[in-house]
């Protein structure tokens, strides 16, 4: 090496002073050592060693330690044991156990169940090691608990020991070795406590990695994935499947994401893939984004706000069985009267007690004028209209009723009367029913959403026609900004599971939804929660409501379009939505792509999607039949 090259190399080597300055950033100002804890620069910590383990462990058995809400460092030290040493130690252990059993038999002692179990495990482990099916390892497991004060540290240590005890782990403090215990949990690879336990390959593999980045299968015995394919796992590049109708608390889901994050795109992907599982789907479409999809799969499309499209809120909930028989619940008239109170509250705002009393009397009188009373035989007659209720209110001697009838004028004879001025049109039958709300006036969108949900709920709650169903409410903030509408949506979310249905609530106004108690209850009670890219303004609230870690928070703030976090119970997975070319063509709303589309969106001749005719005939596959 030349002298010039040597000088250049020496210039690249940092000076000892620079190294000391960089290391000083990681060195605490003071270190105080007590028998059972340390004070590291004002941070109190205590280390415990696991000395007792359960007889059997399952995959991810250390996961509860990592999900503890406080700060706990978990360190696992693994050292392999060579096969010769393993065989000798197992042989000695078997000799001890067998001699103990024989000695007990000679003295007439009762059989110790723990000794019997240990002997059987030792024989099984020895056989597997001899056949090369497993190896032995020495494992040391240590926990370091952090707290802001000594008193708080004592509480945290007690809580962690209780958590460990619930996992059948015996956690003991490393008394008078607190410094060695802390060093053993630092990322240095040093085990200075050396309290080890022998593990075989199966038990060790279940402990590391602590949790899998993939969602667990609904049925671990099944090789084929079940549910709906959402996309690729960001961490493992595996496939993300989730079954909302599997063994979960409820079938509801909530999707929260800012505008442009891919929220509607993901909803339509899940909708399309659910159709091939025989799931009936009803969609509330505020922006007319589901028309292409409904046309391609042969679904029903009801365009509210169009000419001749009406919904009569006075219709009694007459249900139809699969064989065509018409049935009506015994309390149908009472339920409809109560629902009309909600309808009028959404139309004109909150009602006073006097107005409610006047409205209740007017509703009963309006039904009676149409020949409908408490006799179920009269419920098949044509239902009255909203204009009939306004007329009844106007003829009342009660000033509150007259004033309420006047407030209904825009919806009976004014600019907004087109939705209510006749009997209901459209049946809403089919495997996919889309209710478009785009052409409704902004003043009518909340009541239109409520009436559509009511019509969907009649079909969902029909006991004579049980089948899995999904109800999708896109841009749910339109309804939730009305207290009466939010309350109806909340009751629907609470009752859907009883009727084999799941409610999907998707919205981009996260702050408005979480600002109300009902909105927060709807979101937090959903068993499936999907978070897409979030705005920084709502990041703190999202983090608090969903108990996100700092890494999950940063992921949602910087996620690309279509990336999100799927939370299902205690399991969470980051995924990237993935669609085929055919699916993308049906679900995209990109204006540039739609403008470049040469095929007629209203003509489904370019693609026929063969939806299974029998909902029970589901093999989980998507059939594409190019025309």
**pLDDT tens-digit profile of 433-466?**
888 888 888 888 888 888 888 888 888 887 777 8
Task: Note the pLDDT of residue 224.
Answer: 52
Q: Which DSSP helix (H) or strand (E) runs through 560?
A: none
225-303+429-627 fold: Rossmann fold (3.40.50)
Task: Note the pLDDT of residue 512.
Answer: 67
Do 150 and 37 meet the contact criterion of CB atoms below 8 Å apart? Answer: yes
Listed by start position, the domains of the chain span 34-78+136-212, 82-134, 225-303+429-627, 310-424
Quote the CA–CA distance of 95 and 310 in Å, as a whole number. 85
Instruction: Kindly indicate the confidence band of residue 299, based on its pLDDT and cuts at 50, 70 and 90.
Output: confident
- pLDDT above 70: percentage of residues in the chain: 81
- Roughly how many angstroms between the first and final C-alpha of the chain, as a whole number? 73
Task: Note the pLDDT of residue 152.
Answer: 93
Quote the CA–CA distance of 107 and 441 in Å, as a whole number. 92
Report the pLDDT averaged over residues 212-228: 57
Q: Which DSSP helix (H) or strand (E) runs through 366?
A: helix 353-369
Instruction: Kindly indicate the confidence band of residue 598, based on its pLDDT and cuts at 50, 70 and 90.
Output: low
Do 389 and 341 meet the contact criterion of CB atoms below 8 Å apart? Answer: no
Residue 450 tokens read as: 């409520």
Beta strands 228-233; 239-242: pairing state: antiparallel
Quote the CA–CA distance of 444 and 504 in Å, as a whole number. 22
The contacts of residue 422 (CB under 8 Å, 6+ apart) are 310, 312, 385
Residues, the chain: 627
Helices (H), 399-525: 399-407, 409-412, 445-460, 477-480, 483-495, 510-514, 517-524
- Half-sphere exposure of 334 toward its Cβ, with a 13 Å CA cutoff? 5
Quote the CA–CA distance of 70 and 157 in Å, as a whole number. 10
Residue in 505, 512, 435 with CA at minimum distance from that of residue 476: 505
**Most confident range, picked from 4-18, 265-279, 484-498, 517-531:** 265-279
The position carrying tokens 């370019």 is 606
3-state secondary structure of 430: coil
Quote the CA–CA distance of 577 and 273 in Å, as a whole number. 13
Do 66 and 211 meet the contact criterion of CB atoms below 8 Å apart? Answer: yes
The contacts of residue 366 (CB under 8 Å, 6+ apart) are 314, 384, 388, 389, 392
Instruction: Kindly indicate the confidence band of residue 146, based on its pLDDT and cuts at 50, 70 and 90.
Output: very high
Cβ-based neighbour number of residue 425 at 10 Å: 13
Task: Note the pLDDT of residue 11.
Answer: 47
Instruction: Kindly indicate the confidence band of residue 625, based on its pLDDT and cuts at 50, 70 and 90.
Output: very low
Task: Note the pLDDT of residue 142.
Answer: 95
Instruction: Kindly indicate the confidence band of residue 4, based on its pLDDT and cuts at 50, 70 and 90.
Output: low
Provide CATH code, domain 310-424: 1.10.8.730
pLDDT, one tens digit per residue, over 541-593 is 888 888 888 888 888 888 888 898 888 866 788 899 988 888 888 888 777 77
Residue 137 tokens read as: 């390892």
Residue 306 DSSP symbol: S
Residue 176 DSSP symbol: T
pLDDT, one tens digit per residue, over 467-484 is 888 888 887 776 677 676
Do 55 and 200 meet the contact criterion of CB atoms below 8 Å apart? Answer: no
Q: Which of 181-190, 254-263, 282-291, 323-332 has the lowest mean pLDDT?
A: 323-332
CA distances from 508 to 478, 511, 563 (A): 11, 9, 15
Quote the CA–CA distance of 506 and 264 in Å, as a whole number. 8
Quote the CA–CA distance of 243 and 248 in Å, as a whole number. 9
What phi, psi does 566 have (nearest 5°)? -100, 115
pLDDT, one tens digit per residue, over 24-83 is 666 777 889 999 999 998 899 999 999 998 877 776 788 778 768 788 999 999 988 887
Task: Note the pLDDT of residue 15.
Answer: 55
Do 203 and 60 meet the contact criterion of CB atoms below 8 Å apart? Answer: no
Quote the CA–CA distance of 243 and 566 in Å, as a whole number. 12
Task: Note the pLDDT of residue 322.
Answer: 55
């Amino acid at each position: 090496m030349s002298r010039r090259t040597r000088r250049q190399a020496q210039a690249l080597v940092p000076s000892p002073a620079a190294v000391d300055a960089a290391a000083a950033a990681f060195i605490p100002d003071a270190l105080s050592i007590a028998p059972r804890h340390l004070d590291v620069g004002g941070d109190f910590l205590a280390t415990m060693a696991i000395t007792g383990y359960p007889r059997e462990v399952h995959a991810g058995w250390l996961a509860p330690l990592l999900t503890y809400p406080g700060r706990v460092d978990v360190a696992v030290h693994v050292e392999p044991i060579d096969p010769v040493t393993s065989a000798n130690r197992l042989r000695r252990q078997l000799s001890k156990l067998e001699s103990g059993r024989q000695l007990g038999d000679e003295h007439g002692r009762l059989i110790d169940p723990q000794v019997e179990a240990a002997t059987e495990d030792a024989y099984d482990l020895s056989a597997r090691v001899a056949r090369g099916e497993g190896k032995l390892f020495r494992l040391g497991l240590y926990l370091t608990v952090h707290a802001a004060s000594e008193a708080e540290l004592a509480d945290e240590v007690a809580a962690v020991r209780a958590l460990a005890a619930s996992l059948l782990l015996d956690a003991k403090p490393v008394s008078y070795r607190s410094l060695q215990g802390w060093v053993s949990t630092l990322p240095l690879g040093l085990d200075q406590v050396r309290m080890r336990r022998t593990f075989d390959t199966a038990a060790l593999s279940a402990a590391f990695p602590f949790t899998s980045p993939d969602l667990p299968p609904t049925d671990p015995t099944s090789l084929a994935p079940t549910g709906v394919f959402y996309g690729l796992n960001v961490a493992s590049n595996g496939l993300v499947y989730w079954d909302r109708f599997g063994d979960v608390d409820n079938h509801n889901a909530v999707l929260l994401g800012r505008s442009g994050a891919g929220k509607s795109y993901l909803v339509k992907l899940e909708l399309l893939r659910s159709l091939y599982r025989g799931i009936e789907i009803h969609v509330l479409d505020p922006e007319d984004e589901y028309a292409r999809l409904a046309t391609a799969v042969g679904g029903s499309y009801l365009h509210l706000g169009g000419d001749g499209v009406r919904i009569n809120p006075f219709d009694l909930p007459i249900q139809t069985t699969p064989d065509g028989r018409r049935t009506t619940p015994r309390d149908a008239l009472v339920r409809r009267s109560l629902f009309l109170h909600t309808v009028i509250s959404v139309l004109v705002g909150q009602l006073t007690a006097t107005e409610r009393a006047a409205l209740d009397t007017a509703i009963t009188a309006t039904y009676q004028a149409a020949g409908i009373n408490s006799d179920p035989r009269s419920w098949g007659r044509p239902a009255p209209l909203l204009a009939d209720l306004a007329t009844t209110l106007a003829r009342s001697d009660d000033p509150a009723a007259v004033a309420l009838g006047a407030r209904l004028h825009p919806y009976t004879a004014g600019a907004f009367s087109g939705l209510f001025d006749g009997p209901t049109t459209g049946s809403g039958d089919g495997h996919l029913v889309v209710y478009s709300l785009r052409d409704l006036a902004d003043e009518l969108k909340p009541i239109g959403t409520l009436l559509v949900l009511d019509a969907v709920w009649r079909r969902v709650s029909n006991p004579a026609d049980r089948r899995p169903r999904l109800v999708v409410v896109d841009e749910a903030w339109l309804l939730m900004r009305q207290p009466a509408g939010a309350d109806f949506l909340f009751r629907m979310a609470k009752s859907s599971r009883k009727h084999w249905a799941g409610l999907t609530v998707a919205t981009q106004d996260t702050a408005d939804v979480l600002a109300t108690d009902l909105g927060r209850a709807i979101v937090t009670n959903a068993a499936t929660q999907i978070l897409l890219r979030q705005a920084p303004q709502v990041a703190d609230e999202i983090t608090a409501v969903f108990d996100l870690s700092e890494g999950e928070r940063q992921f949602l703030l910087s996620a690309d379009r279509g990336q999100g976090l799927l939370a299902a119970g205690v399991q969470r997975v980051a995924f990237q939505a993935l669609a085929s070319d055919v699916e993308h063509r049906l679900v995209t709303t990109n204006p540039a792509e739609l403008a470049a589309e040469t095929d007629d969106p209203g003509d489904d001749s370019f693609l026929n999607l063969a939806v299974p005719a029998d909902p029970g005939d589901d093999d989980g596959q998507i059939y594409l039949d190019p025309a």
